[in-house]
């Protein structure tokens, strides 16, 4: 059964997509079968993995949420044979409104993931920068959520709102939801403020903060424009190394709570992304 992790922070530009794409790729390169779900209408995770906007036209996560497609129908293979993706397109903006009148509207993604969960070891969900219905669906569908925090002065701004929302989801929709951890991103070793932010957040959140801290690394920011994860673009970069470390931390955690980590090896008949 897949472990489902939502990458969430309603603050924009903190590294959610960079973390989703590269964590998913890192897990896949560690031989885990991974499904990356792009829940952001911006579609950055989709383009970041090289899936072009016109591809897979009527089979995006939007069509799953409104009941026009099964999740399996939207899943594409990627260059990494262990990594699969369900893409987003701008229609997803409308899903927030279209879902209002739907039965069990907060559970639609959860119900969809349940249909493929046995095929994967991990499902990673890239959330949009808001706490609307899309993020609510992602938090309801998840076993845990991972929060990227940028190492900057306002890092903690809005975090209490996110934690409150997660608390409400846990209370009302998904009792098993827990925080996977906080990952510090865009750390700049030469910047005193970066060090202060790390200290403050570690004081606040203790062992909830991942030991792997993602540095500011130009290779990480260049990779998406080539439609590649950091492992394809520059596997020897510090960014690649740190995302691989993060993936190992998550696998270790997973192994410590679950003795049976083997999942059935099925490859499914998924469409081919032109990557």
Picked from Mg ion, ligand ATP, none, the partner binding residue 13 (CB below 5 to 8 A depending on kind) is: ligand ATP
Which of 189, 192, 204, 171 has the alpha carbon at shortest distance from 238? 189
Q: Does residue number 16 form part of the binding site for ligand ATP (CB under 6 A)?
A: yes
Alpha carbon distance 59, 55 (integer Å): 9
What's the Rg (C-alpha) of the chain? 17
Q: Does residue number 228 form part of the binding site for ligand ATP (CB under 6 A)?
A: no
108 versus 242: smaller Cβ distance to ligand ATP: 242
Cβ 99 to ligand ATP, closest distance in Å? 20
Q: In the stretch 147-186, what mask flags binding to ligand ATP with x, by CB under 6 A?
A: --------------------------------------xx
Residue nearest to Mg ion (CB): 17
Cβ 44 to Mg ion, closest distance in Å? 5
Picked from Mg ion, ligand ATP, none, the partner binding residue 14 (CB below 5 to 8 A depending on kind) is: ligand ATP
Which of the stretches 8-16, 24-32, 135-143, 158-166 binds ligand ATP when contact is defined by CB under 6 A? 8-16
For ligand ATP, the binding residues (CB under 6 A) are 12-18, 40, 42, 44, 129, 185-186, 214, 216-217, 220-221, 224, 239
Q: Which residues bind Mg ion (CB under 5 A)?
A: 16-17, 44
């Amino acid at each position: 059964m897949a472990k489902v992790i939502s990458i969430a922070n309603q603050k924009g530009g903190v590294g959610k997509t960079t973390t989703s794409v590269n964590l998913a790729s890192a897990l896949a390169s560690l031989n885990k079968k991974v499904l990356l779900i792009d829940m952001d209408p911006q579609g950055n995770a989709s383009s970041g993995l090289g899936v072009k906007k016109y591809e897979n036209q009527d089979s995006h996560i939007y069509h799953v949420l409104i009941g026009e497609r099964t999740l399996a129908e939207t899943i594409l293979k990627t260059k990494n044979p262990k990594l699969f993706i369900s893409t987003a397109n701008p229609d997803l903006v409308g899903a927030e409104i279209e879902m209002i009148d739907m039965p069990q509207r907060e559970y639609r993604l959860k119900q969809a993931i349940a249909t493929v969960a046995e095929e994967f070891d991990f499902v990673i969900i890239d959330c949009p920068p808001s706490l609307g219905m899309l993020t609510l669906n992602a938090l309801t569908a998840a076993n845990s959520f991972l929060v990227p925090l940028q190492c900057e002065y306002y890092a903690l701004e809005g975090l209490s709102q996110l934690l409150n929302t997660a608390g409400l989801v846990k209370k009302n929709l998904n009792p098993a939801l827990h925080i996977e951890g906080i990952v510090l991103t865009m750390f700049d070793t030469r910047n005193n403020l970066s060090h202060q932010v790390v200290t403050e957040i570690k004081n606040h959140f203790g062992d909830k903060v991942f030991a792997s801290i993602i540095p500011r690394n130009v290779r990480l920011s260049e990779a998406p424009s080539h439609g590649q994860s950091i492992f394809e673009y520059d596997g020897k970069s510090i960014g690649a190394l740190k995302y691989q470390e993060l993936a190992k931390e998550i696998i270790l955690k997973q192994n410590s709570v679950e003795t049976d980590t083997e999942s059935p090896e099925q490859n499914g008949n998924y469409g081919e992304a032109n990557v």
